[in-house]
């Protein structure tokens, strides 16, 4: 089920539907042509791309970091051209939902972004994140250059060596390839639709699972977004 429709259903059950417009209507009115990026960035800035399930939920923890200039929800890790939310969410492409981060490396390091990434995902479950299942919701680190690739592999290796988990870490590390920005109605969803976002995230069990995995480190040491 489309996440927007799922969130509306939860809200209806909780008697909040009176405050909401139909999600499908919002989607049709707000759709825009996706923007394709090959990974270039403004001078002096860098990019990082992470897959952690629902891209709505991966923007907030990075937006809170000093040095992060922007976060963009989108699609990466697939070979098919012109991915859309309809095709990706239905599993008709090999893409994953991702968040692409533009950051100032003099203020926040790639290693710090990796730290936040890990503590916002379940790295033990293949092809699923919380209530969202399928390869499109796998966890992955998509590196933009050889330095990021090495750092990502080292970060995953350190987490394995730490022995925190008694299950294997299944998060993949790969080159980013082509990134396609998601439709405009997905961008900054948690800010523009805070009630829907809150009940989607809570109903999906994301924070409960993150706390079980990471304890006080869940979210990267930052408080979960409040609305």
Helical (H) or strand (E) element with 7: helix 3-13
Question: 76: closest CA among 145, 147, 174?
Answer: 174
Q: Which positions are catalytic?
A: 54
Task: Determine whether 178 is exposed, middle or buried from the number of CB atoms within 10 Å of its CB (0-12, 13-18, 19+).
Answer: middle
Report the distance separating Cα 217 and Cα 158, nearest Å: 16
Cβ neighbour number for residue 82 with a 10 Å cutoff: 11
Q: Compute the Cα dihedral for 44, 159, 143, 101 and give only its sign.
A: negative
Rounded CA separation 1/210 (Å): 23
Cα 192 to Cα 155, 158, 184, 195: the distances in Å are 33, 37, 11, 9
Which residue in the block uniquely carries the two structure tokens 């893409």? Answer: 95
């Amino acid at each position: 089920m489309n996440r927007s429709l799922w969130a509306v259903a939860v809200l209806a059950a909780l008697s909040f539907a009176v405050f909401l417009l139909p999600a499908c209507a919002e989607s049709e009115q707000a759709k825009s042509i996706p923007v394709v990026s090959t990974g270039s960035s403004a001078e002096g800035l860098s990019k990082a791309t992470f897959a952690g399930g629902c891209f709505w939920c991966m923007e907030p923890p990075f937006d809170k970091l000093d040095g992060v200039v922007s976060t963009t929800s989108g699609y990466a890790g697939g070979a098919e051209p012109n991915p859309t939310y309809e095709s990706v969410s239905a599993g008709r492409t090999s893409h994953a939902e991702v968040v692409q981060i533009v950051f100032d490396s003099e203020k926040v390091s790639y290693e710090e972004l990796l730290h936040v990434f890990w503590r916002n995902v379940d790295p033990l479950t293949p092809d699923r994140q919380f209530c969202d299942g399928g390869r499109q919701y796998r966890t992955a680190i998509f590196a933009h250059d050889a330095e990021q690739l090495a750092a990502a592999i080292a970060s995953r290796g350190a987490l394995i060596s730490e022995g925190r988990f008694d299950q294997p870490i299944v998060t993949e590390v790969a080159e980013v390839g082509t990134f396609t920005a998601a439709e405009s109605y997905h961008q900054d969803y948690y800010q523009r639709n805070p009630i829907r976002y809150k009940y989607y995230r809570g109903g999906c069990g994301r924070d409960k699972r993150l706390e079980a995995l990471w304890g006080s480190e869940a979210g990267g040491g930052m408080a979960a977004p409040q609305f």
